[in-house]
Every structure is written in C-alpha cells, then in structure tokens.
Structure 1
Amino acid sequence: MLILTLNCRRFSAQYQLYNWGDQAVMATGMVERIVVGDSFLTHRVPGADAKHLDGECADHKDALRLILDTLVGEGLIGAVTDIKAIGHRVVHGGERFTKSVLIDEDVVEAIREVATLAPLHNTPNLAGIRAAQELLPELPQVAIFDTAFHQTMPEPAYMYPLPYEWYQKHGVRRYGFHGQSHLHAARRGAELAGVPLDTANLVTIHTGNGVSLCAVRDGVSVDTSMGLTPLEGVMMGTRCGDIDAGIIPFMVNEAGVSATELDLFLNQKSGLAGIVGRRVSRRTVVDEAVVGDPRCQLALDMEAYRLRKYLGAYIAVTGRPDAIVFTYGEGWEDWPVRGMALQEMSQFGIEVDLKRDEEALKGGREMQISADHSPVKVFVIPSGEDMVLNEDVAAIMGWQ
C-alpha cells in the first residue's frame, strides 16, 4: 500500500512516497517557488543523487500535478492509482481535532474556520487538500494536525491570564505545534530510556528554524512552548519567542509601527536574524562566531540561555525526567546551541559527554549524548514527523 504525504506551505510543497507494506521510503522531495515563478522540484530517491526538475507552478494544484508526473516519470509508480491514500499535514486543528481524521467537507470547513489562528499555514494546507481532491477525487485523504498531540494539556497550562471572553469568543489559548515531532520523540525517548510510554516523564525538543519544547508526563503532552501561534517560546531562527508584551504598544506609539509591520518583524526579522542583523544560514552564524563576530556569538549565547531556562522550567513541570530528547530535521543535526545549553545543567542531573555530543553533530542516527553516570539521559534522534504521518494514515485506513 503506497502512501503519499504532503506538507503544503505558502510557496512550497514537500512530499514523501512511502510503501507501507515494505516499511520503506520510496521518494521524497519538494516543489519550491509556487506562485512566485521559476518553480522547480527537487526529487530524491534513497541511495541516488537528487534530481532538479523545472516546472512552472501557478498554484498548489500545479505543484501536485508536477509531483505526480515525476513519480510516474521516474518509474516509482505505474499510474497515480497505485497510490492508495494521501496524508496532509495540517498545522492548526483548534480545539476540535484531538487526533487525525479522514477528510470530508465537514473537516475542510472546520480547518477553514480555524485558519484565522494560523493563516500562513492552514490556508496553503487547504490548498493542498483541494488540489488532491480535484486531481485524485477517489483517493482517501487524511488530515494529521500539528496541534492534536497537545490537546491533553490541562486548563491551567493552556489558558492565558487574559480576559476570559477572549478565549470564549476568539479561541485565544495555547495550542502548541510540532505535534508529530514531539509524539515521535516521546515514543523513541521512552523506548531508549527503557520505560513504558504511559509512565514516561520526558522533555522533548524539536529543533529547526522553528524550535519548540514539550513537557511530557505519563506519555502525554502537559505543556509546550509555542502558544496561540508558533511565535511564542524560545528564541528561533527568525521568530522572537517570548518577549515583554508591552514592547508592542511601545513600538506602535514610539515608532508608528503598524500591525502588519509588527507581524513581519516578530515572525521574519527577529530571533537569530534580528540579533545578527540579516537572514543567513545557521552554519554562517556559527562560522562567523568562531572567528570573532560579536553579534553572531551573542545570538548563539542568547539561544542557549533561553533554551536552558525553558528546560529548567519544564523539568519543574515533569519532575526529574526519564530523558531529554532532541529531535532534528535535515541540516539541524549540527545545532551547537544544544551542547551550549546542557553544559551548565548538572544541578538538574544532566551530565553531557562532550565527545558524544560532538559525534552527534554529524547526524544521521540516534545517539545518547549524556554520560553513562548521568541521572538524566539525553538523546538526539533524527526527525520522525513523516513516519507519524504514515502511521496515522495507515491506522485510519485499517492497514495496521
């Protein structure tokens, strides 16, 4: 049984073709520059060099057509009917969706209704769903929600100390994101620590341009660093994370910054990019910090400090955890902030083995980076988000 999973963003569409019977990835790739022009697809098959294919994509429907044509053209499938189900990553499910669901018009409408909470994410997610419905109308489709894993948070954790009417009328509360990543990290962390998931206490950390933490108690999410939007939490690549809310009216009054400009500044021009003063790769930031650039060094120090604060707070939530689990996607295995933050946490029972941490920076496999005598184990694992999508699709299709 072949599963196609899609993660549609504003100007891109990421995909994976997975053989559920063989438990094997057949292909991955991404279409970039959708809508903006000069679109292209990068297609990867395990064990082979990546292929670059040009193809103009005016919308996500064109992008999906390019993906399907490539899968057929490369001989991975004989026809699109070989695919038996599609899984869609949907960022925001609001309070309604606590698990993955088979998509129908009622689900589509519900996703649209909560799009105001994540307009930059749910809108392209819906575009991908509509494209698949039009091109493959007979194919079952499943929505897998980023927010679903965090719907187990207790009320004191997800409510904000704001007028209660804001929650009642507008849904203002903590939702959390990166749910598939935290779920996979919790499952693997419990197994690596040698404890049953339903009794495991863990802190999981998703690393990427967006970074989030999750406090896991007895195997379920009880708190997470991102909130109503992915803006809250630790310092990130371009997002500010936690700041004094009073800065916003101050800048409105002091500098005449508009709501649109504020959104751009906080989401795209803050975090690491804000301190460094430009958008550059993290590798560049690390390299320039090594040769003495003070702002690059400051940015890394700030990231490590804020990550350490959150780790300490979440250990207070879980009690001494069975493990701390860092999970990374492509290009994030060499994130130096992890080791910088953990080196000063021995008072929490965390003892890092610097040689293991250095070896883990090479990526590609699961590793324990804590010392053998460390009371709290620390693991680094590759991302399992795609696997969670496949598992949920298979479960809903009754293949498990």
Structure 2
Amino acid sequence: MIVFVINCGSSSVKYSLFSSEENGNLNMLARGLVSDLETENAEIRYETESCVITIKLDKPDYREALEAAIATLTHPEYGKLSDISEIDAVGHRTVHGGDKFIGSVLIDEVVIAKMEQCIDLAPIHNPANLEGICQAMFLLPATPQVAVFDTAFHQSIPIRARVYALPYEYYERHGIRKYGFHGTSCQYASQQVCQLLKCSLEQSRIVICHLGNGVSVTAVDCGRSVDTSLGYTSVGGVMMGTRCGDLDPGALLAIMKEQDLNVKETDLILHRQSGLLGVSGVSNDMQTICKLAEEGHQRCQLAIEMFTYQLKKYIGAYAAVMSGIDILVFTGGIGENSSLIRSMAAANLGFLGIVIDPERNQEKMSRDTVISVDGAAATVVVIKANEEKMIAQEALTIVKGLKTEQAVLLK
C-alpha cells in the first residue's frame, strides 16, 4: 500500500511518500517541501534516494502547493508513481485535537466540523492543517484521508496531572487544561526505542526529550503518556528557541502592568522574544549559541546552563512520577545533534542509573544509537525523529481497518 503524508504549516507544505511491505515495514520513497507559500520566494524541494530537485513556484496557495507536490511524485523521470490513483491513503499531521479526539480518525464532514471547533486552541497551526485537508480531499476525492493529532497521545494523562489549580469551572466549562504536544514524535520514539532495545513497551518507563526549536519532555509509562512538559499551549515547560517555558504568572502580570502591555504585545514576548533568544540576546539557534558560549559569551553560557538545568529537572521529576526510569530518549534536532546538551542534561543522574558514555555520545548520530555505558540501569538512546513515518503508520492502520470492515459487510 502507498501512503501520502502531508504536513501543512502556516507558510509551508511538507510531504512524503511511503510504501508498506508485506511484513508491515514502511519505506520512504520520496519527500519534499514547498516553502514560502504565496510569496515570490516560493519553491519546491523534492528528494528521493537518487535525486534532489528544486523548482521555483509562482506564489502558490495550498492547493497549488499540493498540486506541485503530486506533480513531483508522478513525474515520468523522477517520480515514484504512475498515477495518483496508486495512493491508498493520505495521512495529515494535525496539531491540536483538544479533548475531542483521543486517536487518529478517518476524516469526514463531522470530523472537520469538530476540528474547526479546536481552531482557537492552535490558531496558527490548525487553520493551515484544515486547509491542507480540504485541498487534499479536493485533489484526491476517492482516497481515504486520516487525521493524526499531535495531542492525541497525551489523552492518557491522568486528571491529577492535566488539571490546573484554577477555579474548576475553567477546566469543566472552558477546557483550560494540559493537552501536550509532540505526541506523534513521542509515540514514534517510544515504539522505536523498544524495538531497538528488544524490550517490551508495555513494561518500560521512558522519558522522552524532544529537543528542537520547540521542546518537550514526556513521561511514558508502559506505553502511555502520563505527563508532559507542554500544557494548554506550546509555550510552557522547558525554555525553547523563542518561547519562555515555565514562568510565574505573577511575574507576567507585573511586566504587563509596569510596561502597560496589552495581550497581543505580551503574547509576542512569550512566544517570539523569550527562551534561548531572550536570554542569550543573540540567537534562538542552539548551534550558534554553543559556538558563542565556547568563545566566552557569558549570556550564551547562561542560556545553555538554564536549558540543561530545566531538562534535568524534568527528567528527575518524571522518573519520580514513574517510580524510576528504564530508558532516556533524546530526539529532535538538538537532541540528535548536540552532544554537549545531552551530556549536560544527563550529568550527575547516576543515582537514577543514567550514565552516558563520553565516546559514544561524541559519535555522529546517523542512526538510532545507544549512548549510555554498558550495564547502566537506565539506557540512554538517541532516536532519529520520524513523525512522518508514524503518521503513515497511523493512516495505514485506519485504512486497513476500514477495508476489513468493508470486506465483512460485503460478506
């Protein structure tokens, strides 16, 4: 079976194509990115195992971007399909499903209506996701389409961990609660690491550090998310590239009062001017900050110390929540590529059984790699992020189930 995976952002469309083997393994056939939608800088970059193609586009909207993506996949010279009818399923990354979706779903009018009710929870991402879904359904009307929600994996978080200590009516009537993000990445990482280590997911206590421009730490106990650092929005938890992370709300109110800031101005500070950028004063890019810190830049050094301290605090807290830890996972751009961040975050955690091997940690991570010392009570692993594969797997599972139901009905 062939699965087309689509991830529509506010100004881009990422896509990939997977084929499934008889044993259930998924192979990526191609991937691409349409960047800078509706601008003169728009282009599509398409990659397979044998070629990389870049094509300029003329201010494409979402439909035109998806048409360009399909054109690369069906191109007679470098495409992977003879016709789009070969696509058996479409999987859509969808950021926020609120409390309306506890898993991936086959998309229909009812699902779209419920997704529209969640727009306020992710006003930047959800409209783009919905637009991508509508355009894909227009271009591939006969192909089953599946929504895979970033928040769904965290629906298993118990009420004691998801409710804020505000008047209860805000939870009950307005849905103000922890939802969590990076769920698709966490689901993939937890499954992948247990396959790598040949251990049971249902018997493992895993802490997953998803470290990129966005950051989350998640406790996965016996295959279920039991707590995560991101909450109602994606601004809390560990400090991020430009987002502040955990903050005393009273400090925020004091800043608003002193500077006479409105909600929009305050939102800009929290989401765009804080985190690594706010502390370092120079960049939101960890690689740049590490380079400057090595050269003696004190605020970059402070940013790294704060970042890794907060990671360490969450790792320890989630080990406590699960009464121990069996596996610590680093994933995402920073998690996969920064040996310094990994070593600082895991330093002095030997009391939890976490001990990193310095030589293994320094190796270039071209594949999933164990970086802890042999015999350590907790295994530390770098897992290459692959949300697209997880989305393809989810879509495949839903569509196979649909076809099984249809076969039963036909009988």
TM-score bucket of the superposed structures, by smaller chain: over 0.9
Name the SS for the 1:351 alignment partner.
coil
In 1, Cα distance between the equivalents of 2:336 and 2:62? 27
Counterpart-to-counterpart distance in 1, 2:240 and 2:284: 13
Matched, 1:105 2:116: no
| C-alpha contact (below 8 Å) 1:37/1:58 kept by paired residues | no
Question: Of 265, 272, 275, which residue of structure 2 is paired with 1:268?
Answer: 272
- 1:331 shift after superposition: 9.1
Q: Are residue 35 (structure 1) and residue 26 (structure 2) matched?
A: no
Secondary structure of residue in 2 paired with 1:371: coil
2-side partners of 1:335 and 1:46: how far apart?
28
Q: CA deviation at 1:120?
A: 1.0
Out of 338, 343, 354, the residue aligned to residue 339 of structure 1 is: 343
Q: CA deviation at 1:253?
A: 0.8
Aligned: 1:67 with 2:85: no
Match for 1:30: what amino acid? Answer: L
Q: Which residue of 1 aligns with 2:257?
A: 253
State the alpha-carbon separation in 1 of the partners of residues 334 and 357 from structure 2.
23
SS in 2 for 1:246: helix
Is the CA contact 1:5–1:389 (under 8 Å) kept in the aligned structure 2? yes
How many pairs were matched up? 397
Find the aligned partners of 2:298 and 2:336 in 1 and give their Cα distance: 23
- Tell me, in whole angstroms, the C-alpha distance in 1 between the residues paired with 2:74 and 2:121: 37
> Quick one: distance in 1 between partners of 2:217 and 2:202?
19
1:43 aligned partner, one-letter code: Y
> In the alignment, what sits opposite 1:20?
20
**In structure 2, C-alpha distance between the alignment counterparts of 1:283 and 1:37, rounded to whole Å:** 29
Alpha-carbon distance between aligned partners in 2 of 1:348 and 1:188, rounded to the nearest angstrom:
22
SS in structure 2 at match of 1:336: helix
Q: For residue 281 of structure 1, report the CA deviation from its aligned partner.
A: 3.1
Q: 5 Å matches for 1:283-294? A: 283-294=287-298
Q: Secondary structure at the match of 2:102?
A: coil
Out of 384, 387, 394, the position equivalent to 1:385 is 387
Structure 2: 5+ residue stretches without partners: 405-411
1:369–1:380 contact (8 Å) kept in structure 2: yes
Tell me if the contact between 2:286 and 2:334 (Cα under 8 Å) persists in the aligned partners.
Answer: no
Mean CA deviation greater in 260-269 or 116-125: 260-269
CA deviations over 1:334-354 (Å, ceiling 9, x no partner): 363121111221222211111
Q: Which residue of 1 aligns with 2:144?
A: 140
Report matched runs for 1:61-210 at 5 Å. 61-73=63-75, 74-210=78-214
Structure 1 position 332, deviation (Å): 4.4
User: 1:109 Cα shift?
Assistant: 0.8
Indicate the SS of the match to 1:137: coil
* AA partner of residue 240 (structure 2): M
Instruction: Quote the Cα distance in structure 1 between the aligned partners of 2:92 and 2:59.
Output: 19
The 10-residue stretch of structure 1 (276-285 or 301-310) with the greater mean CA deviation from structure 2: 276-285
Q: Determine if contact 2:339/2:361 at 8 Å carries over to the other structure.
A: no
Structure 1 vs Structure 2 CA RMSD: 1.8
- The code of the aligned residue for 2:253 comes to P
- Measure the CA separation in 2 of the matches of 1:280 and 1:248: 21
Moved over 4 A (4+): 329-332
Q: Is the 8 A contact 1:150 1:175 kept in 2?
A: yes
Q: Which residue of structure 2 lines up, in the alignment, with residue 55 of structure 1?
A: 57
Post-superposition CA distance 1:76-108 (Å, at most 9, x none):
222222222110000111112111010001101
Partner Cα distance (1:391, 1:177) in 2? 19
Within the candidate set 41, 47, 55, 1:44 is matched to: 47
The equivalent residue for 1:301 is 305
TM-score (norm 2): 0.92
Query: Kindly, what percent of the aligned residue pairs are identical?
Result: 40
Distance 1:316 1:330, change over 3 A: closer
Q: How much has 1:330 moved relative to structure 2?
A: 8.8
Per-residue deviation, 1:127 = 0.9
* Gap runs ≥5 in structure 1: none
